Amino acid sequence: MTTKVNKTIMVNVPVSTAYRQWTRFEEFPHFMGGVERVTRLSDDRLEWVAEIAGVHRRWEARIVQQDLDRAVAWAAVEGAKNAGWVDFKEAGPSQTSLHLSLEYEPHGVLEFLGDKLHIVERQAESDLKKFKEYIEKQAPETGEGMASDSPPVVDPVTHPFDQTNGLADLDGDSDETASSDTRSAAERKEDEDRGPGFIPPMGGLPGQR
């Protein structure tokens, strides 16, 4: 015996936003009670892990319909019937009427009992309310891929502030001494070869005029 559930809710976001969020199946656990995990196996295959009417179940479903900003539907590929689809209709400039339909066949004593108590129907109604809260908290959208007006955060440990705007040698020959910013390693080596008592001429060392 197949049980059918139909529920409708109004969400205060554009149709495109509601559709895009619903088709992110991997995020279903955020607002669907009992759904532990949804994994996309391929473009049209999904693996579901959920608890239905107190029974822990795992099944594979196929996306059988996906019309951009209009509808999406899925169905179990084997075993007991388990299918769902959602219609999206514009109800205003930033409002969407979302209609959820579910069909399933109770399997086992607990699921039959849950069906009699309308547990799945109440769960579907609760899930739609959670979806509404979840998606409306995301609005207004920041837009994926859009450039941010905020400057990038720079880590002072890995990117020390350079007052010389790149003139100081922070990467090459620098040994963090004052002279090393203006003299090459070869010139410093020359000093070391001459010994600690060497006094450079007034004009300075070669390369410092």
Q: What is the tens place of the pLDDT at every residue in 77-134?
A: 987 678 999 999 999 889 999 999 998 876 654 455 555 546 778 888 999 999 999 9
Domains, the chain, ranges and CATH? 3-138 (3.30.530.20), 164-194 (no CATH)
Do residues 33 and 107 touch, judged by C-beta distance below 8 A?
no
* pTM passes above 0.85: no
pLDDT tens digits along 143-182: 443 333 333 444 444 444 444 444 444 445 444 444 444 5
DSSP assigned state of 148:
P
Buried b (16+ CB within 10 A) or exposed e, 36-75: eebeeeeeeebebebebbeeebebebebeeeeeeeebbbe
Structure tokens belonging to residue 51? 């608890």
